[in-house]
Amino acid sequence: MKKLIFALTLISSQAFAFNLKEVSGKYSAKYDSVPINSVITIESNGTINLVEKSVHGAPLVCNGKAKVKNNKITSNVKCVNGFTFEQVVNLTNVKNLNEFTAPVYSTLFGQEVMVSFKRIQ
């Protein structure tokens, strides 16, 4: 019985796995606990552009690559000021990519924070 439940859980989680083409688009992102708003563009080839706007200064503009695996978007970016960081968006509980809230681990903060995303294109 445990094997059957495990198999059904595995199949159902794979049935909702997103791919890079599905997540491609332009999103606004608002961090719930950090005063930063972002515009993120993900292209179907994995190219990612990130513009982070903070109340503390000029926007941070970054470019890099993203990949989707196991319902997680992992992006590695390099910013115009030379700063680099990685972010991992966990889509495990997301059903609708047009508007959702998901945990995001960022090496920029060294922790996971909740982020609200809205597809704008």
Categorise residue 61: left if φ over 0, alpha if ψ from -120 to 50, beta otherwise: beta
Domain residue ranges of the chain, discontinuous segments joined by + = 2-119
**CATH 2.40.128.20 describes domain 2-119:** yes
Say what the pTM is.
Answer: 0.82
For 70-101, the pLDDT digits (tens) are 999 999 999 999 999 999 999 999 999 999 99
Q: pLDDT at position 50, please?
A: 94
- DSSP string for residues in 49-73: EEEEEETTSSPEEEEEEEEEETTEE
Nearest residue to 17 (alpha-carbon basis) of 76, 65, 73, 64: 73
